[in-house]
Amino acid sequence: MPDITFIGLGHMGAPMAANLLKADFPLKVFDLAPAAMQTAVQLGAMPTPNALHAVMNADIVISMLPASQHVEGLYLGEGRLIHAISPGAIVLECSTISPEVARKVHAAAKARGIHMLDAPVSGGTAGAAAGTLTFIVGGEASDLATARPILEKMGKNVFHAGGPGAGQVAKIANNMLLAIHMIGTAEALNLGVANGLDPKVLSDIMRVSSGGNWSLEKYNPWPGVMNDVPASRDYQGGFGVDLMLKDLGLAMEAALATRTSTPLGAAARSLYALHSNQGKGTFDFSSIQQLFKRPNQDWV
Ligand code: NAD
C-alpha cells in the first residue's frame, strides 16, 4: 500500500480523504484549520503538524485547496513543499486552478523528478462523498496509469485530457459552458412563465425538444419543477455562485492569455458577478434564476 498524504480537508477534500481511509490506505493529513484535521483524524488519518512534515516520505501527495494562489503558495512559496517531496513521488493536484499555475508546478515538480498530475474534479460535494467524482487529468499517461487505482477510490470516471495543465483547461471550458446553459435555461423559463406557461410544462417540452440541456434536465433552476435539486430547497447546498464565479474568472484569464473570443463566457462571468454582489455568493449557482425575477413574483 502506498503512503498517501492529503492536504486540504475542506468541503471536497474531507470526503475524498474519508473514501481513501475506507479503502484502508494509510493516510497522513494536513489542513490549516484544526477542526478540519480533527474530523479526518477521527476517521483514522494520522495528523501532521505542517505541510512539510506531511509530505516527508509520502509516495503520493494529494492536494485540494481553494484557488491558484493557495496551490502556488503551498508548492512553490515560502515553504517550497516541492523540495520536501521525495523524487519519484506522485502529486495529484485536485483543486480547480489556472492552467498556467498548474503548468508552473508541473515544471518545478519535473525538475525534482516528481511526477505531477493536475486532476481537477467534477461532481461536487455529493460526488466526493459518494466516491463518484469525475477526475479530469493533465500530465503524463504513465503517471496517470500509476495513480489511477487511487483516483478510482474517490471517483467513478477518470479522463486523460492531455499534457500538463490540460485537466484544468478541460475543467474550466466545461464550467464555462455549464454557466452559459444555466443562464440560458433560466432566461427561457422566465420568458415562458412571464407569458403564461407553467414552468414544469415548459421544462417537459424543452427537455425533449432542441432546447434540452443538463441544467434544464438534471438541475432545473425553477423552484418546484424538480425534487432534490438546490432550486427546490431555497438554493441551499450544491455548487456555490462564488465558486462558479471563480471558475469563470479562470476561463477569462485563459481566454486573455490566448486571445480567444469568449463572448458568452464573458457575459456569464459578468452576470454571476452581479448576482454575487447582490448577496447571493453562497447560494447554489442555479439561483441565477432570481436575477430574472419580476415584481410580484411569488416563488422566492
Ligand atoms: P474549501 O474552502 O471547503 O476547502 C479548502 C481547504 O483547504 C480548507 O479546509 C482550508 O483550510 C485548506 N487550506 C487552504 N490553504 C491551505 C494550505 N496552505 N495548507 C493546508 N490546507 C489549506 O474548498 P472546497 O469546496 O473543498 O474546494 C476545493 C477545490 O475544489 C476548489 O478549487 C474548488 O473550486 C474545487 N471544487 C469544488 C467543488 C464544490 O462543490 N465545493 C466542486 C468541484 C471542484
30 Cα to the center of ligand 1, angstroms: 12
Cell numbers linked to 26: 494509510
Backbone angles phi, psi at 135, to 5 degrees: -100, 130
- Average pLDDT along the chain: 96
Give yes or no for residue 300 having a pLDDT over 60. Answer: no
Residue 14, pLDDT > 60, answer: yes
Burial class (CB in 10 A: 0-12, 13-18, 19+), 124: middle
Report CA(131)–ligand 1 centroid distance (Å): 17
Catalytic residue (choose from 28, 104, 171, 246) = 171
Residues in Cβ contact with 162 at an 8 Å cutoff, skipping those fewer than 6 apart: 138, 169, 170
To test ligand 1's pocket by mutation, which of 243, 245, 272 has the most ligand atoms within 8 angstroms of CB?
243
pLDDT at 294: 84
Q: How far apart are CA 36 and CA 93, in angstroms?
A: 19
pTM over 0.85: yes
CA end-to-end span of the chain: 51
Tens digit of each residue's pLDDT (9 = 90 or more) over 130-179: 999 999 999 999 999 999 999 999 999 999 999 999 999 999 999 999 99
C-alpha cell at 105: 508546478
Tell me the Cα Rg of the chain. 20
Reply yes or no on whether 153 is catalytic: no
Q: Cα 199 to the chain's mean position, in Å?
A: 29
The 10s digit of each residue's pLDDT in 206-229 is: 999 999 999 999 999 999 999 999
Distance 296 CA to ligand 1 centre (A): 38
Half-sphere exposure of 50 (CA within 13 A, CB side): 8
Domains of the chain, each with CATH number or no CATH = 4-163 (3.40.50.720), 169-292 (1.10.1040.10)
Pocket-forming residues, ligand 1, beta carbon under 6 Å:
7-13, 30-33, 36, 51, 64-67, 70, 74, 95-96, 121, 124-125, 239, 243
Q: What percentage of the chain has pLDDT greater than the value 70?
A: 99
Band (pLDDT 50/70/90 cuts) for residue 237 is confident
Dist. CA 42–CA 3, nearest whole Å: 19
Grid cell 486523460 is found at 160
From ligand 1's centre to the CA of 23, what distance in Å? 22
Residue type, 80: R
d(C-alpha 116, C-alpha 119), whole Å: 9
Q: Are 57 and 4 spatial neighbours (Cβ–Cβ below 8 Å)? A: no
Name the band, by pLDDT with cuts 50, 70 and 90, for residue 297. confident
Of 19, 32, 41, 98, the residue with max ligand 1 atoms within 8 A of its CB, to mutate for a pocket test, comes to 32
